[in-house]
Structure 1
Amino acid sequence: MTKAVESVLAGLDTIRGQVEDLYRDLHAHPELGLAETRTAARVAERLRAWGFTVTDAIGGTGVVGLLPNGSGPTVLLRADMDALPVREATGLPYASAAVATDRSGREVPVMHACGHDVHVSCLLGCARLMAQGRQSWRGTLVVLFQPSEENGDGAHAMLRDGLTDRVPRPDVAFAQHVLPYPAGYVGVRPGPFFSAADNLRITLHGRGAHGSMPQSSIDPVVLAALCVVRLQTIVSREVAATDPAVLTVGSLHAGSSPNVIPDSATLELNIRSYSGATRARILDAIRRCVRAESQASAAPREPDIETLSSFPPTSNDAETAVRLDRAFRAHFGAAADTIGLQTASEDFSEIPDAFGTPLCYWGIGGIDPEQYAAAARNGTVDQDIPVNHSPVFAPVVQPTLDTGIAALTVAALEWLACDQE
């Protein structure tokens, strides 16, 4: 541990209770993407009280705090703020009972099922410690609270609203995510971290008829079934086993009556990949397969293929990740390790890409260590440990928050500490 890290983190004991209270408050009051008005207001209020220059309402609900402290590097730390349309089933005393209207006009339950409340709390904790410990560092700290990560459009919204003109170019950009690992764990890796994600809607066209007269139809239900099976061969037979990728057909809709063959069927797909070449190969293969199956079924026209959303891959700058890994191991000891590839996806990389800034993203654990150890001994981690987006995903408050605050602080001070000069 460097003297700067030791000095700044010495204040953690005095703010821990306030950070925990804030976390519980955020968890109990989740908000959907681009509707994070309450969360953003609390973030902005605290940053201003600690001496940050605050710009809010960037891209709708985004907040940026700027803390200049003499000459030196500029470091950007980011947290995402939005929650998910999930009904909480954790049974926690601070569980969410919130409901909201989503973008389609439906009333939905809302829950912080992905841990963004952890991210906001940890970044605010780090921001306060850095503001209190200015004697230990030099440079500029930028803290960015991003909306609508779950929808994949929050980073783009902030950029479209002139983020790169409102913030000095960072020398490095950092973010972290709470994941289903033991609380206290910190893991980083050079190169690919989160996968790219593409969500597609495919409409297959047929010819409707009475269920008793299939010879008069071109059955899109059968066509859809053939496509589902065929699509599963893309990853298993067209992508190398050493190149991770996932293709999931998550939705299939056709017809409304058992005795009516419909005119069309709709598939919705999710594709995960880590390299641009593999991503392009899979997307091309999807188009080829569904068009070929449609032609083989004598469909009256080619399928419609619509991109619903796309997330870029998150790939860590190798030099930055190696340097950060050393800093984490020095501070956290055996709790720091090289993390494996993550099949989740993120949109944050659009922001450092727009600045031309190196990015490094890492994971922290949020699961009770004893619960995780028991599941690991039994070989049932996949079955017994709740994962992000689950209605029972509930990071333990500690040591999760302390670890997240410390990790952000260690990362910032690796570049900003006076003893680095």
Structure 2
Amino acid sequence: MRFAPAPLCLALLGALSTSFAHAADLAWVDPAVASVNQQVIDLRHTIHQHPELGNMEVKTAKLVADHLKALGIEVRTQVGKTGVVGVLKGGKPGPVVALRADMDALPVKEMTGLPFASSAMGVRLGKSVPVMHACGHDTHTAMLLGAARVLAEHREQVAGTVVFLFQPAEEGAADVDDFQTDTLVGAQAMIRDGALESPKVEAIFAVHVMAGYPTGHLYYKAGTVLNSSDGFRITIKGQQTHGSAPWSGIDPIVASEGIISGLQTLVSRRIDLTKGMGVISVGTINGGSAGNIIPETVELTGTIRTNDASIRETILQKMPPLVNGIASAYETQADLLLVNHAPVTTNHPQLTEAMVPALELAAPGKVERLDASLSPSEDFSFYAQKVPGLFVFLGATPEGQDMQKAPNNHSPYFTADDATLATGVKAHVQFVMNYPGKLAGVL
């Protein structure tokens, strides 16, 4: 069943479509993007071969800052710890828009066999781990650097100001425990350090490569586009005893089984599934040291994902009494820690529709509207809570391959096709050159 939009939304969309239905098809964009393509590919290979974990992107940040400075772009470093902000003032008056790329890699051992594959090691929470750009952040950084060069070399054509945000720790920080609640990282740290201020940003855009979608194709959706993300850790305390006499102790392992099963009823029985979806997954279970000893404690950790703010709120409110109640029924004690990682990523509806013609210029005939939101999460959502945002996806698997068999983002076999980078550069440029601008009071 389809519901008609509210009259106000219809009026706003009508105004936007009338004013901005035809994006500016600037003849210089395609040749300018082509001229920087090889440099973008080379940058991508360099960054990929030398990945750094979240909050450790020192060399990557220096590479970014050096390139921006060489283009005559004003640069601020150490934003959000290792982030870089570049500010380009155009030759014409106009709005302030931001383009965001993330720089961090993942603690994954690369298995792609690429000639520029990573063999790097890093330190995460005191432990040595392999490091790989398994989510395409190397491509994001390289594409935004390419767009910065194109826009800087044509700054007289730019109306307004462009803020380039090169963000650390989108995947989390290597020096901050996932359950440490008193430290801001990633987008939140960038915002805290004024990334959207001085100059004050009016709208923000980002592009994310996705495996399993064809190279050079762009995908978008108004409204909810990615899930929220919250983490939990549950410590269940019982009383240790011999495995042959469970009645002489209190078994936290049996209690943990009851809690794991009970958590699923929050989704199946407590949330309004007409509004969207929710997932609660337990990822680790740790407890015990021998098969014939019932341990004193068991620890569970997991993740919560939703595509609706009210569903998220319901789960977060109802989880504590459920966990404590089940633990009490087994005569155990439970300590629950909830950590909020990212809200639902929401594309501003009017901004999204206004920018579709710009997407078509970036990828003619290869722009598709997503039917549903995707399951991953992104801390771009924090920027989009502050200013209108648009987060789009760029296919990164060659069209001749079986999309169903392409290794997903975060796989040790994940790859992104170099041929898709030019489309990403062009999308960033078209965002800037075709942003409506005069939307105060509408957005």
User: TM-score by structure 2 length?
Assistant: 0.87
Tell me which residue corresponds to 1:257.
Answer: 290
Cα distance in 2 between the residues matched to 1:66 and 1:352: 19
Which residue of 348, 357, 360 corresponds with 2:387?
357
Secondary structure (helix, strand or coil) at the match of 2:26 reads helix
Between 133-142 and 271-280, the greater mean CA deviation after superposition? 133-142
For the pair 1:194 / 2:226, whether they are aligned, the reply is: yes
For the pair 1:405 / 2:425, whether they are aligned, the reply is: yes
Q: Deviations over 1:369-389 (max 9, x none)?
A: 1113xx5xxxxx2xx221111
For the pair 1:182 / 2:214, whether they are aligned, the reply is: yes
Q: Percent identity?
A: 38
Tell me which residue corresponds to 1:87.
Answer: 109
Matches within 5 A, 1:380-395: 381=404, 384-395=405-416
Which residue of 72, 75, 84 corresponds with 2:97?
75
Structure 1 residue 351, shift from structure 2 partner? 3.3
CA contact (8 A) 2:51 2:104 kept: yes
For the pair 1:369 / 2:399, whether they are aligned, the reply is: yes
Cα distance in 2 between the residues matched to 1:7 and 1:257: 69
Tell me which residue corresponds to 2:345.
Answer: 314
Structure 1 residue 211, shift from structure 2 partner? 0.6
For the pair 1:24 / 2:55, whether they are aligned, the reply is: no
Structure 1 residue 364, shift from structure 2 partner? 0.7
Secondary structure (helix, strand or coil) at the match of 2:134 reads coil
Tell me which residue corresponds to 2:169.
Answer: 148
Tell me which residue corresponds to 1:60.
Answer: 81
Tell me which residue corresponds to 2:440.
Answer: none
Cα distance in 1 between the residues matched to 2:267 and 2:436: 44
Between 323-332 and 249-258, the greater mean CA deviation after superposition? 323-332
User: TM-score by structure 1 length?
Assistant: 0.91
Cα distance in 1 between the residues matched to 2:196 and 2:347: 21
For the pair 1:294 / 2:327, whether they are aligned, the reply is: yes
Structure 1 residue 406, shift from structure 2 partner? 1.2
Q: Deviations over 1:167-208 (max 9, x none)?
A: 311121111111121111101111111111000101111111
Cα distance in 2 between the residues matched to 1:53 and 1:9: 25
Q: Deviations over 1:248-267 (max 9, x none)?
A: 11111111111110111111
CA contact (8 A) 2:361 2:430 kept: no
CA contact (8 A) 2:205 2:389 kept: yes
Structure 2: which 5+ residue stretches go unaligned?
1-21, 174-184, 438-443
Letter in 2 for 1:413: M
CA contact (8 A) 1:8 1:133 kept: no
Matches within 5 A, 1:226-237: 226-237=258-269
Cα distance in 2 between the residues matched to 1:38 and 1:15: 22
CA contact (8 A) 1:32 1:84 kept: yes
Structure 1 residue 223, shift from structure 2 partner? 0.8
Tell me which residue corresponds to 1:217.
Answer: 249
Cα distance in 1 between the residues matched to 2:254 and 2:23: 64
CA contact (8 A) 1:72 1:416 kept: no
Cα distance in 2 between the residues matched to 1:330 and 1:159: 31
Cα distance in 1 between the residues matched to 2:207 and 2:368: 14
Change (3 A) 1:240 1:326: farther
Secondary structure (helix, strand or coil) at the match of 1:225 reads helix
CA contact (8 A) 1:71 1:138 kept: yes
Between 265-274 and 231-240, the greater mean CA deviation after superposition? 231-240
Q: Deviations over 1:73-93 (max 9, x none)?
A: 111000000000000011111
Cα distance in 1 between the residues matched to 2:375 and 2:200: 29
Change (3 A) 1:331 1:401: closer
Cα distance in 1 between the residues matched to 2:381 and 2:265: 30
Q: Which aligned runs of 4 or more in structure 1 are off by greater than 4 angstroms? A: 1-4
Tell me which residue corresponds to 2:142.
Answer: 121
CA contact (8 A) 2:227 2:343 kept: yes
Cα distance in 2 between the residues matched to 1:416 and 1:2: 9
Structure 1 residue 101, shift from structure 2 partner? 1.1
For the pair 1:278 / 2:300, whether they are aligned, the reply is: no
CA contact (8 A) 1:211 1:258 kept: yes
Aligned CA-pair RMSD? 1.8
Secondary structure (helix, strand or coil) at the match of 1:71 reads strand
Tell me which residue corresponds to 2:360.
Answer: 329
Q: Deviations over 1:89-133 (max 9, x none)?
A: 11111100000111x200000000010001001101111111112
Structure 1 residue 67, shift from structure 2 partner? 0.7
Structure 1: which 5+ residue stretches go unaligned?
376-380
CA contact (8 A) 1:122 1:404 kept: yes
Letter in 2 for 1:274: N
Letter in 2 for 1:110: V
**Higher helix fraction (1 or 2):** 1
Cα distance in 2 between the residues matched to 1:50 and 1:338: 35
Cα distance in 2 between the residues matched to 1:122 and 1:154: 19
Tell me which residue corresponds to 1:245.
Answer: 278
